């Protein structure tokens, strides 16, 4: 497992308080996530994207190009999971992110329980098959707790094809983040 964070202090906290120090299977890297993916040739089963500090989304980590790069670092059966804050705007706020993921991945799903989880698969998948996997018995109580909250809202993500995906050269993600946080239009 590789954890990447721009701020080395966050990695120090992970080592000090979350037991991630000196573990042979965990590597912590102080770097920009997009730069790290661009430089790395490693392939991952899961890429978890949770880069959004205090609700603001860095525009360069929410574009079709970023997600295509992330997809290129996934294994054949790999999955990208993205945590999205969306307290005030809900589906309206996440729709452009869904549309952007759809431009880079063949299957995109969502679950909501306060925040949203957006899940994109590297190869085409079927909702029914994924729901069956979610319904399987889980021995880890922490995972079971999360799945109890995710199952009822897990669905195929929808966004209007009229929405243009966020691109490196065209997106309004900062304005959307501002409206989400401050409720201003």
- Cβ-in-10-Å burial (0-12, 13-18, 19+) of 108 comes to buried
CATH class of 32-182: alpha beta
Per-residue pLDDT at 34 = 93
- Between 91-104 and 173-182, two packed helices, what is the crossing angle to 10 degrees? 150
Report residue 158 CA to chain centroid gap.
Answer: 16
Per-residue pLDDT at 46 = 96
Question: Cα dist. 146→79, 95, 97, 181 in Å?
Answer: 17, 23, 22, 25
φ, ψ of residue 88 in degrees (nearest 5): -90, -35
Domain spans in the chain, listed from the N-terminal domain onward = 1-31, 32-182
Question: What pTM, to 2 d.p., does this model score?
Answer: 0.87
- pLDDT tens digits for range 71-115: 999 999 999 999 887 655 556 778 889 999 999 999 999 998 777
């Amino acid at each position: 497992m590789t954890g990447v964070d721009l701020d080395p202090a966050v990695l120090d906290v992970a080592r000090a308080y979350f037991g991630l120090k000196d573990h042979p299977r965990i590597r912590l890297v102080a770097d920009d996530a997009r730069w790290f993916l661009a430089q790395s040739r490693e392939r991952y089963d899961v890429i978890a994207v949770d880069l959004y500090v205090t609700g603001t989304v860095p525009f360069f980590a929410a574009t079709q190009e970023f997600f295509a790069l992330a997809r290129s670092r996934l294994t054949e059966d790999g999955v990208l999971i993205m945590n999205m804050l969306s307290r005030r705007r809900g589906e309206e706020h996440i729709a452009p992110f869904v549309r952007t993921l759809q431009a880079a991945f063949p299957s995109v799903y969502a679950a909501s329980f306060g925040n949203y989880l957006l899940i994109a698969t590297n190869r085409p998948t079927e909702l029914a098959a994924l729901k069956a996997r979610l319904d399987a018995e889980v021995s880890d109580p922490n995972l079971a707790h999360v799945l109890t909250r995710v199952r009822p809202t897990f669905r195929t993500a929808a966004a209007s094809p009229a929405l243009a995906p966020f691109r490196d050269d065209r997106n309004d993600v900062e304005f959307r983040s501002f409206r989400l946080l401050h409720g201003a239009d």
